[in-house]
Chains A and B, each alone.
Chain A
Amino acid sequence: MLINQLNAKFRLLVGSAALSALVISGVPAWAATPADTLVEAFAIDDVITLDPGEAFELTMGEINGNTYDKLVRLDINDPSKIIPDVAESWTVSDDGLTYTFKLKPGLKFASGNPLTAEDVAYSFERAIKIDKSPAFILTQFGLKPDNVTEKAKATDPSTFVFTVDQPYAPSFVLNCLTSTVASVVDKKLVSQHVVDNDYGNAWMKTNYAGSGPMKIRDWRANEILVLERNDNYHGTKAPLNRVIYRHVKESATQRLLLEKGDIDVARNLEPNDLEQVVKNSDIKTTSAAKGTIYYFSLNQKNANLAKPEVREALKYLVDYDAIGEKLIKGIGEIHQTFLPKGILGELDEKPYSLNVAKAKELLAKAGLKDGFSVTMDVRNGQPVTGIAESVQQTFAQGGVKLEIIPGDGKQTLTKYRARTHDIYIGQWGVDYWDPNSNAETFTSNPDNADTGTNKTLAWRNAWDVPDLTKETKSALLERDTAKRAKTYEDLQKKVLATSPFVLLFQQTEVAGIRSNLKGFKLGPSFDTNYVFTVSK
C-alpha cells in the first residue's frame, strides 16, 4: 500500500489536509442578506472623494442624492419639474436677479446640529472657494471668491438669498441648484476640521457632514461604501437601517451573488447576464433612461470631414437598427438628438438610418466618389468597441476606409482634447439636470482658436458656430419656460442636420433585483437613484 510507505510526518500532513477539507464543507453559506440592510453590488471605483464641493462622478452623484439635502430637488416622477427639499418655498424678484428661499422649520443635520440658512450660505461659499471641478455650476451665475458671501447669504436663520448676475431663466437656476455641488453641509462640523484654510476639503474627502435621508458611515475605495439611516432626517425616515454598496466589477460575479441571494441588487449586469438572471423567478430587472448620450464626432480640422456633404453622408453610413438590436440591447436606446429624454426641451426625432445609396450620392457631390481614409480613436471596452467595428463595416459600404485606433480611456481623451483626432467615439453625460448642460457643449464654441480655453465638444471638433453659440446663450435668458424649451428643440434640429456629431444612443441603466425588495426604482438621473425608499 502506498500509505505504508509514507513516513509519520507525511501522514500528519495528509491528515490535516483531510481535516481542512472537512472544515470547508462544514462552513455554512449565507443565504440571504440581513433583513434591515440593502446590499448592492456595484462598480464603485469611480468614487474618488465624498466632498460634495468636489465630487463629480456618477456613483458619487447617487451617494450624494441619498445622503445630502439641497434647497430643491428634482421631481423623480417628472424630472423637468422642481420640488422643495430643505427650502419650503421660494420667490424670484421681478428683475429675475434675486432668489429668496424660505427654509423648513426645525431642520437638523445628522450630527444633531441645527440646519439654518447660515449653513446654506457657507456651503455655497466653500464650493466657490475650494474651486473644484463642479464649481462652475455655481460660478456661471456670477459667483466669485470675492463676492460669494454677498451674493449667497443668510438674511435670517430661515431665509437664504441668492443673487445672480443676469436675469436667467428660473428653470435654469433652480435646475442647477439640484446638483451635488449645491448640497448643504454642516458648517459647525466642517469648521472643526479645517486645515490651512481648506474649508475642510481634506477631511470631507472621506467624511460626511450632511442632513439627507441616509448618512455615509464608511468608504473604503474599491471595496465598500456603507450608508446608515439618518434619524434626524426632516422627511419620511428610511425603512432600512443600512445600505451597503460592495465593489464588484465583474458582471458574471455580480450575477452569481444575485442568484445566490448574497446581494439584493446587481448594478452592472451585461446584456448576456441580464438575459440569464431573468429566468430565475426570485429575480427581476428594472431600468431607466439616463442622461448619457453616446456619439461619434468628426474633427473639422480634417479637410474631408469638414465638407457638409461628408458630415451628412456619414450619418447615413451607420446601421442604427443593428446597433440597437445587437450591441446595446438592454443598456441603451437609439437616440439622435443631443438632449436626453426626460430633460426640458427634449426632442425625439430619428431621421437617420443606414442608406448607402444616399451616402454615396452625397460623397460624390463632395468630390469623394471613390471614398477616403480616416481614423477613429476608440477607448478599449464595450459598447464603443463593438459600435466602432459596426461603423467600420458600414463606412466601407460607402467607400470610406475607417482605421480604428484603440487606446486607454484617458489616452483617447487627451488626444481628443488636443484636437488631433479624426473621429472620436465617446459619451457625454449631463453635468447638471438642465438642457443648457448639453447645449453648451454641443452648440457653443466661443473661441475656436487652438488656444481657446473653453473646451466644449464643439471646440474639440473645431466646429466654429458663432450663430449657434449666440442662440444657446439666448436660451439661458429666456424666462418663459415654454419658449425656452422651443429654442432647445430648434438647436437640436440644427445639430441633427449640419453638425459633425453623429449621435447614436441614450444610455439605459438597468439593475437586477431580488423580488422581495419593495420600492427599488432607478431614477431619471444618477442623483435620483434613491435607496432610502427601499424596504424588504
Chain B
Amino acid sequence: MTTTETQLEARRSGAWASGLAIAIGRFVLIGAITFLGLLAVTFFIGRVIPIDPALAIVGDRAPAHVVERVREEYGLNLPLYEQFFIYVKGALQGNFGNSVLTSNPVMTDIRRVFPATMELATFGTLIGTLFGVPLGVLAAVKRGSLIDQIVRLIGLIGYSMPIFWLGLLALLVFYAKLGWTSGPGRIDVIYEYTFTPITGFYLLDAVLQGNWDAFWNIFSFIILPASLLGYFSLAYISRMTRSFMLNELEQEYIVAARAKGLSETRIIWAHALRNAAVPLVTVIALSYANLLEGSVLTETVFSWPGLGLYITNSLQNADMNAVLGGTIIIGAVFIAINLLSDLLYQALDPRTRAR
C-alpha cells in the first residue's frame, strides 16, 4: 500500500468517524426532544382522562380524609404544569415514582418485566429472520411457482390470523394434546427454589448458573410463544424479503453477473441478497421493536410476565407512574433500535459510508 493510499484510507475512516459522531449527536438531540414530547403527551393524557388518580391509589372504600391525604402526598392538588415539572425533575434524576399496583419503584418493576419481553422478542425475531429471509428469497427466485404460492399463503395467514386465537390453538395442540412443550408461564414452579434469576433473561441466567435442567425447562416454555411471535414476524419478513429480492433480481448487475458466468447460487445469495439486505435490516429492526413493546395478547395467553402486560394492567388501573415509565422505556427502545439499524445500514451499504 502506498503512502497516499494509506492517507486516503485514514482520511476516509476519519470522515466516517466524524460522520458517526454527528449522526449520534443528532440522534441524541432528536431523542431528547421526542422524549420530552412523549412525556408531556402521556402525562397530560393521563391527567385529563376522567379518572380520579387518588381513587386509583386508595380504592373505592377509603374514607374521605385518607383520599385527601393521598391527594396531598402525591401532589395531585397542585396545578397540572407544576405536577408535570415535578415529574420531569424526578425523571431526570432517574426517579419515576412508585407503582401503585406493585408498591415498587417503577424502574424496579421495569427491570423485572422488560427482560421477559426482550427474551421473548429476541427469540421470536431470531426465528422470524432465520426462516423468513430464506423463504422470501426462495419465493422470489421461484416466482409464481408452488413454493412462492405457499410462502405467500403463510405470509397471508400470519397477517390475518388473530394472535390470541392462534396462541390458544398452539397451546391446545403442542402443549395439551401432543405434550411437546410446556404450557403458559416462564418456568416450572419446581424451579422456584433452585433457580434464581440474575439478569432476568432466564435462558442466559440458567447458562450462567450451569443449571441445565432449568435451561431446558425454560426453553420448553419459551419455545411456543417465541415460535408464535416468530411466525408473525416471519410472515412480515418473508413478504418484504420477497419483494426486495424481486426488485434486485431485475437489476442490470444480475444480468451482468449471469453473463460473467457466475453460478445462480452465488448470484442469489452473494449478490442479490447482499443488496436486498440493506432495506431488510430496517424491516427486521422495526419488527423487533414492535415485539419489544410487549405483545399484550401473547403475554396474556401465555401468562408471560412482560412489559406489555405490565403497561396494560397499569393503564386499566390508572397507575399513571407505571404507564409513564413504561412509555418512556418503549420510546427509548424505539430510538435505540432506529439508531442501531442506521449504523447497520452504514456497515452494510458502502455508499452511506463514503458520503
Which A residues lie at the B interface, using CB under 8 A? Answer: 2, 5-7, 9-10, 13-14, 17, 23-25, 27, 29-30, 33-34, 37, 39, 45, 48-49, 56-57, 131-136, 205-206, 218, 220-224, 226, 244, 246-250, 252-253, 256-257, 259-260, 262, 408-411, 413-415, 417, 431, 453-455
* Interchain CB contact under 8 A, A246 and B181: no
Query: Can you give 17 contacting A-B residue pairs, CB < 8 Å?
Result: A2-B138, A25-B180, A29-B179, A30-B188, A37-B189, A49-B103, A57-B59, A133-B59, A133-B61, A206-B104, A226-B192, A252-B168, A256-B183, A262-B182, A262-B183, A417-B60, A455-B64
- What mask results when residues 292 to 306 of chain B are scored 1 for a CB within 8 Å of chain A, else 0? 000000001111010
* Interchain CB contact under 8 A, B61 and A411: no
Question: How far does the alpha carbon of A56 sit from the alpha carbon of B62 in the complex, in Å?
Answer: 9
* Interchain CB contact under 8 A, B189 and A222: no
* Interchain CB contact under 8 A, A133 and B66: yes
* Interchain CB contact under 8 A, B131 and A17: yes
* Interchain CB contact under 8 A, B189 and A244: yes
Question: How far does the alpha carbon of A256 sit from the alpha carbon of B223 in the complex, in Å?
Answer: 17
* Interchain CB contact under 8 A, B176 and A259: yes
A248 contact set on B, CB distance < 8 A: 184-185, 303
Question: How far does the alpha carbon of A6 sit from the alpha carbon of B269 in the complex, in Å?
Answer: 9
Question: How far does the alpha carbon of A134 sit from the alpha carbon of B269 in the complex, in Å?
Answer: 68
Question: How far does the alpha carbon of A422 sit from the alpha carbon of B217 in the complex, in Å?
Answer: 54
* Interchain CB contact under 8 A, B109 and A221: yes
Which B residues lie at the A interface, using CB under 8 A? Answer: 49-52, 55-56, 58-66, 69, 99-104, 109, 112, 130-131, 134, 138, 168, 171-172, 175-176, 179-185, 188-190, 192, 216-217, 219-220, 223, 264-266, 269, 300-303, 305, 309-310, 313, 316-318
When A7-B265, A410-B56 are in contact, do A34 and B301 touch as well, CB less than 8 Å? no
* Interchain CB contact under 8 A, A33 and B189: yes
A411 contact set on B, CB distance < 8 A: 49-51
From residue A453, how far is it (CB to closest CB) to chain B in Å?
4
Question: How far does the alpha carbon of A319 sit from the alpha carbon of B256 in the complex, in Å?
Answer: 79
* Interchain CB contact under 8 A, A27 and B181: yes
A135 contact set on B, CB distance < 8 A: 63, 66
* Interchain CB contact under 8 A, A27 and B216: yes
Question: How far does the alpha carbon of A218 sit from the alpha carbon of B301 in the complex, in Å?
Answer: 24
Instruction: Specify the main secondary structure of chain B where it touches its partner.
Output: helix
A247 contact set on B, CB distance < 8 A: 303, 305
Question: How far does the alpha carbon of A490 sit from the alpha carbon of B51 in the complex, in Å?
Answer: 37
* Interchain CB contact under 8 A, B102 and A221: yes
B172 contact set on A, CB distance < 8 A: 256
From residue A178, how far is it (CB to closest CB) to chain B in Å?
17
Instruction: Specify the main secondary structure of chain A where it touches its partner.
Output: mixed
Question: How far does the alpha carbon of A39 sit from the alpha carbon of B191 in the complex, in Å?
Answer: 13
From residue A414, how far is it (CB to closest CB) to chain B in Å?
5
* Interchain CB contact under 8 A, B182 and A246: no
Closest 5 CB pairs of A and B: A221-B102, A453-B64, A205-B103, A27-B220, A133-B62
* Interchain CB contact under 8 A, A224 and B316: no
A57 contact set on B, CB distance < 8 A: 59
When A250-B300, A410-B317 are in contact, do A10 and B269 touch as well, CB less than 8 Å? yes
From residue B349, how far is it (CB to closest CB) to chain A in Å?
21
Q: Which residue of chain B is the closest to A5 with respect to CB atoms?
A: B265
A252 contact set on B, CB distance < 8 A: 168
B223 contact set on A, CB distance < 8 A: 24
Question: How far does the alpha carbon of A23 sit from the alpha carbon of B300 in the complex, in Å?
Answer: 26
* Interchain CB contact under 8 A, A29 and B180: yes
* Interchain CB contact under 8 A, A253 and B184: yes
When A48-B100, A220-B305, A221-B101 are in contact, do A256 and B313 touch as well, CB less than 8 Å? no
Q: Which residue of chain B is the closest to A431 with respect to CB atoms?
A: B61
B220 contact set on A, CB distance < 8 A: 24, 27, 29
Question: How far does the alpha carbon of A413 sit from the alpha carbon of B59 in the complex, in Å?
Answer: 10
B109 contact set on A, CB distance < 8 A: 221
From residue B84, how far is it (CB to closest CB) to chain A in Å?
21
* Interchain CB contact under 8 A, A256 and B192: no
B310 contact set on A, CB distance < 8 A: 222
Contact among A13, A27, A33 with B134 in the assembled complex (CB-CB below 8 Å): A13
Question: How far does the alpha carbon of A9 sit from the alpha carbon of B274 in the complex, in Å?
Answer: 14
Question: How far does the alpha carbon of A135 sit from the alpha carbon of B51 in the complex, in Å?
Answer: 24
From residue A378, how far is it (CB to closest CB) to chain B in Å?
15
